[in-house]
Structure 1
Amino acid sequence: MSIVLSAEKLVKTFPGVRALDQATLTLTAGSVHALLGENGAGKSTLIKLLTGVYRPDGGRVLLAGPDGPQEVHFGSPQDAQRAGVGVVHQERNLIPAFSVAENICLQHLPRRKGLVDRARVRSEARRCLELLDVDIDPDTPVSRLSVAQMQLVEIAKALSADSKVLLLDEPTASLTGDEADRLYAIVRRLRDQGHAVVLVSHKLEEIFAVADTVTVLRDGRSVAEAEPLARHSRDQIVDLMVGRAYQEVRLPQRTVDPSAEPALVLDGVSTSAGHHDVGLTVRPGEILGLYGLVGAGRSELAKALLGLEQITAGEVRVHGKTARIRDVGDALRRHRIGYVTENRKEEGLFLDQTIARNIAVTVWRRLSRLGLVRDRAERALVADYTERLGIRLASPDQLAGQLSGGNQQKVSLAKWLAADCDILIIDEPTVGIDVRTKAAFHELIAGLAEQGMAILLISSDLPEMITLADRIAVMRDFAVAGELVNDHEYDRMSQAVIRLIHGSQEAA
């Protein structure tokens, strides 16, 4: 197979951090190449160099041309796109009010007599969607699409630019198992058509199902370079990623007092989002898992508890008292309820503010004197939580947007721990997080419950749910389909959960 792109000894340095240190990547036509590494290993930086977002401080990028490999210098993502290097980011980059066709052709709208040629726009969109065997009306507004459909439109957008190299960054992070299987069938089809597909994912079971070759980054360096994936076991790949033999974290053994007064009770709750007659109970020291398919209403229920959706019927009780929560600030100050959102970039963090400000934002009142936040107190707080959670940062003054995904999630969690919550809602805590950081998060969440915190855990990762939860409430169509006591036997529990999702009452 011919080499279509090679990155040689790439170096990229940010203030206080050497993100890439002589990293190398080689891609061949007609292959799926896995790019793996822990959060902070340099994967996102490498992708941004290959797509013109950043310029390298050292090394070079070569792209196949008619006269052999040629060194390229991309000044912008548009330059990379024109050269045939496309990317689909984990955070979707579509305009919701525009149609599918307009989004697909946005970077190169065909014109006729100075005006957009809408017939050609639709025709090009249909061509790209047909390449993926996707049946979506090109005139449909993107706002009406499911998450999975949006992901496919992103890929069609890259194909419209005639991408020879397609970079997929955590493509299944927001997809169900069936949707992920369909996406990977499309990835295999693109490979068979001659594309070089780069797959960045922390889901190793998916990597082993679809990838041909693998490059592993650790601390900005390539510790495995374009090696056949079949030569490696899962444990060997994990060892390459973390740099030492990896052992699963052992979670603390916990017991929940069934006679203790519940920290949080939902009694017959209905909401403006569409929930009906929801009943849940979480006791101190307990982890209640909330599981269901995408669109089952789990995150919307969490937002209703925080006053972001209206509760139209039923009652919410916090420590035995009826609670009418107006907003997130009210939930925190009056009821000590915290919420770690799944959407850390748009809802969980201020990406253009420092790490210190992000962690301290929930306790500014406590840290202030005469209306001014004391800098020394803020820094002491940040030092405490960066050490406790193992947040990797250059300094407290580093912008949150410069952190890796796993470290951003830790900062999002730290601000609620700093607020001393005793009820914590955690929504998709480990999406886009590497295997070691994920295990550390599991240990941390179990440790918080062991200390007496009541935790409502929302996760689409069934192994994670069975690992952590004491009980699992399964949601379907904005209602609780049933509840299970978790005995942590994976095969039995997963089958029981799946039966509830699909409407069988045998599991309840």
Structure 2
Amino acid sequence: MTLFQASEIVKVFPGVRALDGVTLSLEAGSVHALLGENGAGKSTLIKVVTGLYRPDGGRLLLDGREVSFGSPHESASAGIGVVHQERNLIPGFTVGENIMLQKLPTSRGLIDRAAIRSEALRWLAELELDIDPDQPVTELSVAQAQLVEIAKALSVESRVLLLDEPTASITPNEAALLFRVVEKLKDDGRAVLFVSHKLEEVFQICDTVTVLRDGASVLSGGALSELTRDQVVDLMVGRVHEALNLPDRTVDTSVAPILELRGVGTATGHSEVDLTVRPGEIVGLYGLVGAGRSELAKALLGLDRITAGEVLVRGQAVKIRTVRDALRNHKIGYVTENRKEEGVFLEQSVARNIAVTIWDRLRKFLGYVPAKSETEMVKSYVEQLGIRIASPSQHAGTLSGGNQQKVSLAKWLAAQTEILIIDEPTVGIDVRTKDAFHTLIWDLAANGLAILLITSDLPEMITLADRVVVMRDHRIQGELPNTHDYDQMSQQVIRLIHATPSTLGAA
């Protein structure tokens, strides 16, 4: 039975036909994949379905009846839940308040906080999340926030649930929990739309697929059991995608580390962290949600207090107090996992975003930074990274996720960093752009850049890292040389993550 249908949907923005007659049908008791490259129209379609955008053509049907939503609240009230790729939690609220926001329980006209806590715990338990409902969402990691978003969507008890990149910032273990919930929703007769760039997940949990390319449906409702991965990628990009083939690259282990941590502890809770990164080396930092990987990176940049041990850069003990200090005095850059809030200025031009780290070099009399200087400097990085823009004056907020991530990376390259921390580099990025990013990161290391890579994507880690350092509970569990053999490495990494102190020697 078809629960929901978007029929011949058209959405036009000035100069762009974002959706051109797209059709999507969601069946009860089924998980449907929505695939396409960045900019294909997936997020635009979801925003039309949930009332953020009004369609310029076509119809939306729920239970066979035509519907029209003027806001996300209206679509939610009709039984359509959504988890967007961008975070939609309210920073000033607690976890429980965010989860229950659309139907806050009351008692005698007042907010019932005990009921909020009780109901929130119910939905957190569905995802097997050990998070306090009274905790402010500002204290959550990106991955924890993503899981709370999913709990929030489930709390509406939606008959139709739209998941836009739900596993982008979570590890395989957390994804497995989510997939169990999705299976339960499917068994309950609900319709689930699953948007992901991780094709292995799509083939694992989805029944049918719609593929968009350049705003149009090139496949609508195809059975995944009848398709191969190459056929799906061919539909997405218009040709069979070639497997990534990276050139040989070696690390000179006789060279002293450019970055070294000795017994580092932080105010966040890290303890006895030892870590080294050499020039030309990619060191991977892997762990489950809450392991403290991103928090450790931020402590290195002066965003959290280091309480014990020492940090050495080029063999000298340093105390880094700010991001500016890290960049100017130690040539350390940080590509954040949260590109939309921390990585780029969405309302500023591409030129300004890339040039921001070198304004001191470009500044003229009385602090004036000529736009021409910005533009000329930016051109080389746009070409080097393959950033697809209309002009350097284009606002970064109008770019696809992949191009925004390239802009975020370009500003650190422009600053001529020698140590680069890259946090979740390919979250929400399509398969072809992901391969381009992997090649780029590999080439940067080959040219001598020291890279500390944080990723929840284990295949990405095994593809790129020279060594894999595994963290749990803000401590280093162990370190593995990377053989780039996925089966072997994945087993060793997972074993190390779950090893107890008594079995670490055997792991």
TM-score w.r.t. length of structure 2: 0.91
**Aligned 1:88-487 pairs, distance under 5 A:** 88-95=83-90, 98=93, 102-109=97-104, 114-116=109-111, 132=126, 140-141=134-135, 143=137, 151=146, 153-370=148-365, 371-487=367-483
| C-alpha contact 1:16 1:394 (8 A) present in aligned 2 | no
Give 2:45's aligned residue: 46
In 1, distance between residues paired with 2:471 and 2:118? 40
Question: Which region of structure 1 is more displaced relative to structure 2, 140-149 or 178-187?
Answer: 140-149
Structure 2 gap ranges (5+): none
**RMSD over aligned Cα atoms:** 2.7
In 1, distance between residues paired with 2:283 and 2:22? 43
Aligned-pair CA distance for 1:333? 0.9
Query: Counterpart amino acid of 1:464?
Result: E
In 2, distance between residues paired with 1:152 and 1:102? 15
| C-alpha contact 2:117 2:133 (8 A) present in aligned 1 | yes
Aligned-pair CA distance for 1:135? 8.4
| C-alpha contact 2:355 2:414 (8 A) present in aligned 1 | yes
Give 1:13's aligned residue: 12
Q: Would the alpha carbon gap of residues 247 and 113 (structure 1) be closer, same or farther in structure 2, given more than 3 Å must change?
A: same
Give 1:55's aligned residue: 54
In 1, distance between residues paired with 2:336 and 2:421? 8
Aligned-pair CA distance for 1:149? 6.9
In 1, distance between residues paired with 2:135 and 2:262? 38
In 2, distance between residues paired with 1:101 and 1:323? 41
Aligned-pair CA distance for 1:390? 2.1
Specify the SS of the correspondent of 1:373.
coil
Q: Would the alpha carbon gap of residues 264 and 134 (structure 1) be closer, same or farther in structure 2, given more than 3 Å must change?
A: closer
Q: What per-residue deviation string (whole Å, max 9, x for no partner) do you get for residues 178-227 of structure 1?
A: 22112111111112222111011112121111111100111111111111
| C-alpha contact 1:306 1:327 (8 A) present in aligned 2 | yes
| C-alpha contact 2:84 2:163 (8 A) present in aligned 1 | yes
Question: Which region of structure 1 is more displaced relative to structure 2, 325-334 or 185-194?
Answer: 185-194
| C-alpha contact 1:125 1:138 (8 A) present in aligned 2 | no
Specify the SS of the correspondent of 1:304.
helix
Q: Would the alpha carbon gap of residues 151 and 288 (structure 1) be closer, same or farther in structure 2, given more than 3 Å must change?
A: closer
Aligned-pair CA distance for 1:412? 1.0
Identity rate, percent: 66
Q: Would the alpha carbon gap of residues 366 and 491 (structure 1) be closer, same or farther in structure 2, given more than 3 Å must change?
A: same
Q: Would the alpha carbon gap of residues 329 and 139 (structure 1) be closer, same or farther in structure 2, given more than 3 Å must change?
A: closer
Give 1:35's aligned residue: 34
Question: Which region of structure 1 is more displaced relative to structure 2, 353-362 or 388-397?
Answer: 388-397
Query: Counterpart amino acid of 2:28?
Result: A
Q: Would the alpha carbon gap of residues 458 and 139 (structure 1) be closer, same or farther in structure 2, given more than 3 Å must change?
A: closer
Q: What per-residue deviation string (whole Å, max 9, x for no partner) do you get for residues 411-458 of structure 1?
A: 111111111111111111112222111111110000001111111111
Q: Would the alpha carbon gap of residues 312 and 99 (structure 1) be closer, same or farther in structure 2, given more than 3 Å must change?
A: closer
In 1, distance between residues paired with 2:129 and 2:451? 41
In 2, distance between residues paired with 1:249 and 1:377? 36
In 2, distance between residues paired with 1:262 and 1:124? 50
| C-alpha contact 1:499 1:505 (8 A) present in aligned 2 | no
Q: What per-residue deviation string (whole Å, max 9, x for no partner) do you get for residues 373-414 of structure 1?
A: 111121223332222222233433333233222222111111
Equivalences, count: 502
In 2, distance between residues paired with 1:139 and 1:255? 48
Q: Would the alpha carbon gap of residues 137 and 346 (structure 1) be closer, same or farther in structure 2, given more than 3 Å must change?
A: closer
Specify the SS of the correspondent of 1:294.
coil
Q: What per-residue deviation string (whole Å, max 9, x for no partner) do you get for residues 293-329 of structure 1?
A: 2222221221121111222232222222332211111
Aligned-pair CA distance for 1:126? 7.5
| C-alpha contact 1:96 1:141 (8 A) present in aligned 2 | no
Q: What per-residue deviation string (whole Å, max 9, x for no partner) do you get for residues 79-109 of structure 1?
A: 2222222211234433466455543442344
Aligned-pair CA distance for 1:129? 7.0
Q: Would the alpha carbon gap of residues 424 and 136 (structure 1) be closer, same or farther in structure 2, given more than 3 Å must change?
A: closer
Q: Would the alpha carbon gap of residues 324 and 134 (structure 1) be closer, same or farther in structure 2, given more than 3 Å must change?
A: closer
In 2, distance between residues paired with 1:111 and 1:278? 47
In 1, distance between residues paired with 2:176 and 2:482? 27
Structure 1 gap ranges (5+): none
| C-alpha contact 2:171 2:457 (8 A) present in aligned 1 | no
| C-alpha contact 1:282 1:455 (8 A) present in aligned 2 | yes
In 2, distance between residues paired with 1:124 and 1:104? 9
Q: Would the alpha carbon gap of residues 49 and 500 (structure 1) be closer, same or farther in structure 2, given more than 3 Å must change?
A: same
Does 1:491 pair with 2:487?
Answer: yes
TM-score w.r.t. length of structure 1: 0.90
